[in-house]
Structure 1
């Protein structure tokens, strides 16, 4: 590792990439909204400081057409360079007949070449496509603040996200889905490094001071700190306990209804007394709050000024995030019982959906929190809602009843 770091002097020079003349060169867009947010903390970044960020990122991660991985931070254990190159670049086929440019073919029109969630179709979609650069993902087996596992991202590609524009890619060969997952991780880690560099300029450096361009700092500290969480994701998977052997579904649904409306779980605060998602409807997700917390009290004029700033900097106008209508039976993170269990115990990263306060099964009843059995009761209750009178599937179920002769 040290040998690789000590050889990192080439970071002092901008990376030049030769391109053809048939098509414009694909470029990563700088995160101007986050840059401007950090400028507000200190002083405006100098042209040299902005150039340092761009040149360091190019040296560390390459370009959309020619990506590479910095050595010495353990990134090769998280991302396969061969699969990364398969997903990168323009759409085509290599000399062996293997598809290339998979990300640009299947993903960039929504998520953008930079992974900023602002591709050509993004503004027309609700919800907006995911911006990978924060390193935050909603639907995963790990808790808040921990990246998804490789399998989590593969599952999203295989199943899609119901109720959104994110389709299933199950018809792609396994190796192509694997390549896209590696490219998404690459964009996320690159984005996290970009954010950290901007933070360090704003917080650690004085006016006009330049970033440390040594390998010890850039690879050994900045990149390694981002990679460490991704490397540990497999160890942070939330285990899902089995239901008790004497489980009674009818009793569980009744108990789940009680917990749903009770003070401990307090699901009604957001999902509403009717479970239609008509509780709070004024909050925003973390992507919308990244530039400014639009949920804070402000006048319409103040809010519009901030929205105009964000759009001018390359962002999308913020939208309120609405809680799920649980009577529809559409669960974006998966409908399997264990997936719903994790949505409750882990919360949903990047959203107002919190992680449940848990307690041991043998804890005193007066102790605050939910037991694993309590969570299973809520899961069963949620899964029953579409079939209750007034639910989306209640009428459907009755249509097939016939009178006995």
Structure 2
């Protein structure tokens, strides 16, 4: 149960949000774009349209909890998540590019990020369609390169590593030269946009799958006519926001520990064993990365951001007859589907980082949002006949992968792409 003061304050904010949506806002203000692609995906599954009034309720609730691009708000949903986001950090990152009277910068996100990732964090900024791969859409809360298992949010440090190091082989640059307070503001603003996007998806799903067509997500008129119903609606949407934020808090304790990397007495033997694992049935890296590790094992799959509005709802982007349906989603804001290609391991370019522990996380955890699975590991304390890899096996596999760029096959020119697009 949420504190009475918090609930009363939320009710007031919700009423203000509803009034703002009715009266309209200044056209000079930036706006968060509604996730119409997800709306259309839910409608295709339902075979009917979601009530526009319910979608307006979603927008009102989002404004109440998260504010606007020019006036962000940290959701107040309980003590457990109170330290996740800082209002002052969000204000430094949000809004138009400017500085205050003290010379402190504002609008950092629009200055450094929005041209690719979009004001909404939907990965649909002005340059996005021309980039390969497309910029990250934060709204699913899914990030590829992190220390946590698949299905978990990244840690704060994971996001920091991406900002500091960039992502090699993509248009994502390093922001290593930014002052620490600016980096921190951008990290928290990315978290804020991701949380907002996850909540939006949850609310849209609620409208599509749990509410009857004439039901309201939050009926503002009921604040005067049916206070009990209104309170229940407010508490329910508050619980959705709280649960979403709590998952980000919990992620901080879910980073997968990396055992010390052993120094093999015989590196050649370690690499040879790693090669056996690469081509063997348990790790089975060859299935996707190919016999020559050039990333040509399969080239017909898609990432989860594309599957969310295609494969997941019965559309096969590889089939020509899907073209009309795909165009329908592109009109709603989706980008043309692109196949996701496994990494060419002979190039020595590792998007998630080249440190041994980075590669350990990629192989053990898999890469979220992609077909790359985590490798099967033996249970701790299991005997030698148990199925899966031991930590020592995993390090041998990593040793093999790390030496691939230096093999003769790699030096013959196969690892050197002929065109810039092949690098991506």
CA shift at 1:364, angstroms?
3.1
Asked whether the 8 Å contact 2:289–2:297 carries over to 1, the reply is yes
- Does 2:32 correspond to 1:33? no
Give me the whole-angstrom Cα distance separating, in 2, the residues matched to 1:20 and 1:57: 15
SS state at 1:69 partner: coil
Give me the whole-angstrom Cα distance separating, in 1, the residues matched to 2:272 and 2:317: 42
The CA deviation string for residues 98-152 of structure 1, in whole angstroms up to 9 with x for no partner, is 0110000000000000000010000000000000000000000111111111111
- Does 2:92 correspond to 1:86? yes
Q: Which moved more, 1:311-320 or 1:365-374?
A: 365-374
CA shift at 1:297, angstroms?
5.3
Give me the whole-angstrom Cα distance separating, in 2, the residues matched to 1:78 and 1:205: 31
Structure 1 residues 393 and 24, CA gap change in structure 2 (3 angstroms)? farther
CA shift at 1:209, angstroms?
1.1
Unaligned runs of 5+ in 2: 219-229, 416-424
Q: Which moved more, 1:116-125 or 1:246-255?
A: 246-255
Give me the whole-angstrom Cα distance separating, in 1, the residues matched to 2:197 and 2:111: 21
The CA deviation string for residues 194-241 of structure 1, in whole angstroms up to 9 with x for no partner, is 00001111111112211146331121x110111111001111010000
Structure 1 residues 154 and 15, CA gap change in structure 2 (3 angstroms)? farther
Structure 1 residues 392 and 66, CA gap change in structure 2 (3 angstroms)? farther
2:52 equivalent among 47, 54, 71? 47
CA shift at 1:247, angstroms?
4.3
Unaligned runs of 5+ in 1: 397-405
CA shift at 1:244, angstroms?
3.6
Matches within 5 A, 1:219-258: 219=238, 221-244=239-262, 247-258=265-276
CA shift at 1:306, angstroms?
2.2
Give me the whole-angstrom Cα distance separating, in 2, the residues matched to 1:20 and 1:6: 24
Asked whether the 8 Å contact 2:310–2:317 carries over to 1, the reply is no
- Does 2:165 correspond to 1:146? no
CA shift at 1:248, angstroms?
2.9
Structure 1 residues 261 and 296, CA gap change in structure 2 (3 angstroms)? farther
Bigger share in helix? 2
- Does 2:191 correspond to 1:185? yes
Q: Which residue of 2 aligns with 1:343?
A: 362
Equivalent residues, number: 394
2:10 equivalent among 8, 11, 16? 8
Q: Which residue of 2 aligns with 1:161?
A: 167
- Does 2:115 correspond to 1:109? yes
Matches within 5 A, 1:376-387: 376-387=395-406
Q: Which residue of 2 aligns with 1:279?
A: 297
